[in-house]
Amino acid sequence: MAWHASVLTLFPEMFPGPLGFSLAGKALREGRWRLEATDIRAFATDRHRSVDDAPFGGGAGMVMRPDVVDAAVGAALAGGDPARPLIYLTPRGVLLDQAMVRDLAAGPGCILLCGRYEGVDQRVIEARGMREVSIGDYVLSGGEPAALVLLDACVRLLPGVMGLAASAEEESHAAGLLEYPHYTRPAEWQGRRVPEVLLSGHHAEVARWRRAEAERITRERRPDLWARYEAARRQRPDASP
């Protein structure tokens, strides 16, 4: 069966959105993955179709009701492989990283719950054993853009979606480094030359330069990744200094 994403949202029209374009969109049309966006409001039970209510304890905003969200989750589970992980997208979640993306892409798909308002009643998150995931340390107005980000990251790793260029980039990130810079013709543009080593045809020297640039950029921009990379390098018995 194709990799299957179910998105639970109050704004199903946001999907596939940008994922309908480029290689993800082509792969979607080719059936390499499947996407359903379900309107949570379809599971409302009262005549006002209400999906939210005021927070216990007071405060601003509204909270999504556990009964309505639970019914939507139940329908998604019944509509696909019940082993798919349940993910609630929230800025309070654990940070999405490439290791999590790799795990998700290797599985049967995922069920993504997008919160709006102040969030979702915590009891349904716990009762369904959902993983809470964030895409970064900033606040979005809803989980939908985060769901699109997570899906893009997964879909590009599916077999036959992106090919060799993508796997090379993925490997570089997997090694724990940011990627080296890229250049194409002309060799001189607005007085700026492409680094000479890249024109040399010496493959080993090109590889050495790229590794050195990847390390420099990682050290300068991401001291957190650099510390982890150095720690991992120290673990290796054949470590180069």
Which residue numbers belong to the known binding site for S-adenosyl-L-methionine? 115, 135-140
Site string for ligand 6GU, 48-87 (x = CB under 6 A): ----------------------------------------
Which ranges of the chain would DSSP assign to H, the alpha helix?
A: 22-29, 66-78, 98-106, 122-127, 144-155, 164-174, 203-221, 223-235
Question: What CA dihedral angle connects 123, 126, 130 and 132, to 10 degrees?
Answer: 80
Residue closer to ligand 6GU (CB basis): 64 or 177: 64
Cα→Cα distances 33→10, 73, 155, Å: 22, 20, 7
Do residues 130 and 113 make contact, with C-beta atoms less than 8 angstroms apart?
Answer: yes
Residue closer to ligand 6GU (CB basis): 2 or 140: 140
Separation between Cα atoms, residue 87 and residue 97, nearest integer Å: 14
Site string for ligand 6GU, 24-43 (x = CB under 6 A): --------------------
Shortest approach of ligand 6GU to residue 147 CB, angstroms?
A: 8
Query: With binding defined as CB under 6 A, does residue 89 bind ligand 6GU?
Result: yes
Separation between Cα atoms, residue 26 and residue 74, nearest integer Å: 30
Residue closer to ligand 6GU (CB basis): 76 or 113: 113
Shortest approach of ligand 6GU to residue 61 CB, angstroms?
A: 12
Shortest approach of ligand 6GU to residue 117 CB, angstroms?
A: 10
Residue closer to ligand 6GU (CB basis): 112 or 162: 112
Binding to ligand 6GU in span 107-146, by CB under 6 A: 134-136, 138-140, 142-143, 146
Do residues 25 and 16 make contact, with C-beta atoms less than 8 angstroms apart?
Answer: yes
Separation between Cα atoms, residue 24 and residue 34, nearest integer Å: 11
Binding to ligand 6GU in span 208-237, by CB under 6 A: none
Residue 164 bridge partners (DSSP): none
Shortest approach of ligand 6GU to residue 166 CB, angstroms?
A: 23
Closest CA to 177 of 204, 215, 134, 135: 215
Residues that bind ligand 6GU in the complex, under the rule CB under 6 A: 89-91, 134-136, 138-140, 142-143, 146
